[in-house]
Amino acid sequence: MTSCNICGDSTFLAGPFGRMSFGGRPPRCATCSSLERHRAMRKTLDRMDAREQFSTYRLIRFSPDPTVEDAWFQSAETSIYEGDNSLDIQSIDRDDGAYDVVMCSHVLEHVKDDKQALRELVRILSPHGFLVMAVPHTEDNAVTDDWGFADPAKNLHYRAYGRDFDTRIASIVTPAYAFSLAPTDPVTGDLKRFKIITKSDFWRDRVKAL
């Protein structure tokens, strides 16, 4: 079996709620707990040669995300809502441009006002960094279904995103550049969609070259 491109292990377990990948393979790395989206994002960052820049960059994650490592960065911070270093993503208590790399994976669906949260993520992003953002299953529905409350039966999600996600956020992130990417997970082969948002011409060109 292919090894995890984050930690190198080759042992995999069932994912959350016992799920398997689309191809029927166990998706969770037994060592680093990475899932398909984390490994797909790491593969993309490696292709961007992003790590060579990180020693002077400031990182914030809005979940305990294994895609990148704290030691790569000048500083690193993790916010876990109602947990360690809890920050309200709809009103982030940090200065404009405070971070060079912002990681926000499978968080927006848990937020009542996701548009305001996205404005905040772009606000704290520095002019020379980038935001990596993923939400679940955007390919499953034509349009986003927002039911307006954190549904306990749906893992406390406020909404199910659809293929209109790009249109939904386009005006919010302007004038930053937003790219939709869909690499495959090197372990399961599943295609995983996510976005890179940047205010930087340098990172714009790196992403466009992928």
Q: Which domains does the chain have, with CATH numbers?
A: 36-208 (3.40.50.150)
Q: Specify the pLDDT at position 163.
A: 87
Q: Which residue in the block uniquely carries the two structure tokens 């995103």?
A: 161
CB 43 within 8 A of CB 36: no
Q: Specify the pLDDT at position 121.
A: 97
Rounded to an integer, what distance in angstroms lies between the CA atom of residue 17 and that of residue 151?
A: 17
The ranges of the chain with pLDDT < 50 are none
Rounded to an integer, what distance in angstroms lies between the CA atom of residue 141 and that of residue 18?
A: 23
Q: Specify the pLDDT at position 27.
A: 96
* CB contact burial 138-163 (16+ within 10 A = b; e otherwise): beeeeebebeeeeeeeeeebbbbbbe
Q: Which residue in the block uniquely carries the two structure tokens 């016992």?
A: 18
Q: Specify the pLDDT at position 14.
A: 97
Rounded to an integer, what distance in angstroms lies between the CA atom of residue 74 and that of residue 201?
A: 22
Please provide the DSSP assignment of 22-53 as one string.
TTS---EETTT---HHHHHHHHHHHHTTGGGG
Rounded to an integer, what distance in angstroms lies between the CA atom of residue 27 and that of residue 49?
A: 25
Q: Specify the pLDDT at position 83.
A: 85
Q: Specify the pLDDT at position 1.
A: 65
Q: Which residue in the block uniquely carries the two structure tokens 């930690």?
A: 7
What pTM value is reported for the model?
Answer: 0.94
